[in-house]
Amino acid sequence: MKKSLLTFVLASSLSVFSQEMVSETFEDTRVVNGHSIETNKEGSMKMIIAHRFGLLNGGLYDLFGLDQSTIRLGLDYGITDKITIGIGRSSFQKTVDGFVKARLMTQKKEGGSPISITWFSSTDLNTLKRPNSVKIDYNLRWSFTHQALIARKFGEGFSLQVMPTFLHRNLVASKEISNDIFSIGTAGKIRLTQMLSFKAEYYFTLPDQLSDVNTNSLAVGFDIETKHHVFQLHIGNSRGMTEKFFISETYGEWGEGDIMLGFNITRDFQIKGRKYK
Per residue, what are the HEC states of 145-161? EEEEEEEEEECCCEEEE
Q: What is residue 275's predicted lDDT score, i.e. its pLDDT? A: 55
How do residues 236-271 score in pLDDT, each as one tens digit?
Answer: 999 889 999 999 989 888 888 889 999 999 998 888
Q: Determine the Cα–Cα distance for residues 231 and 143; give it in Å rounded to an integer.
A: 29
Q: What is residue 257's predicted lDDT score, i.e. its pLDDT? A: 83
How do residues 10-44 score in pLDDT, each as one tens digit?
Answer: 444 444 444 689 888 998 999 999 999 999 999 99
Higher pLDDT, 24 or 4: 24
Mean pLDDT across the chain, nearest whole number?
87
- Check the CA dihedral 38-43-44-48 and report its sign: positive
Q: What is residue 46's predicted lDDT score, i.e. its pLDDT? A: 94
Contacts 24+ apart (CB under 8 A), 129-135: none
Q: Which residues contact 46 (CB under 8 A, 6 or more apart)?
A: 29, 40, 75, 76, 77, 86, 266, 267, 268, 269
Q: Are the C-beta atoms of 145 and 165 separated by less than 8 Å?
A: yes
Residue 259 CA to its chain's centroid (Å): 19
Q: Determine the Cα–Cα distance for residues 12 and 111; give it in Å rounded to an integer.
A: 14
Q: What is residue 97's predicted lDDT score, i.e. its pLDDT? A: 96
What domains are there in the chain, each with its CATH number? 22-270 (2.40.160.40)
Q: What is the pTM of this model?
A: 0.86
Instruction: Burial-class residue 119 by CB neighbours within 10 Å (0-12, 13-18, 19+).
Output: middle
Cα 24 to Cα 116, 189, 259, 263: the distances in Å are 11, 11, 29, 20
Q: Determine the Cα–Cα distance for residues 88 and 66; give it in Å rounded to an integer.
A: 23
Query: Three-state DSSP class for 62?
Result: helix
Q: Determine the Cα–Cα distance for residues 182 and 197; give it in Å rounded to an integer.
A: 29
Q: What is residue 91's predicted lDDT score, i.e. its pLDDT? A: 92
Secondary structure tally for the chain: helices H, strands E: 2, 12
How do residues 130-182 score in pLDDT, each as one tens digit?
Answer: 776 667 788 889 999 999 999 999 988 999 999 999 999 998 877 778 889 99
**Mean pLDDT of all residues in 232-236:** 93
Structure letter (DSSP) for residue 49: E
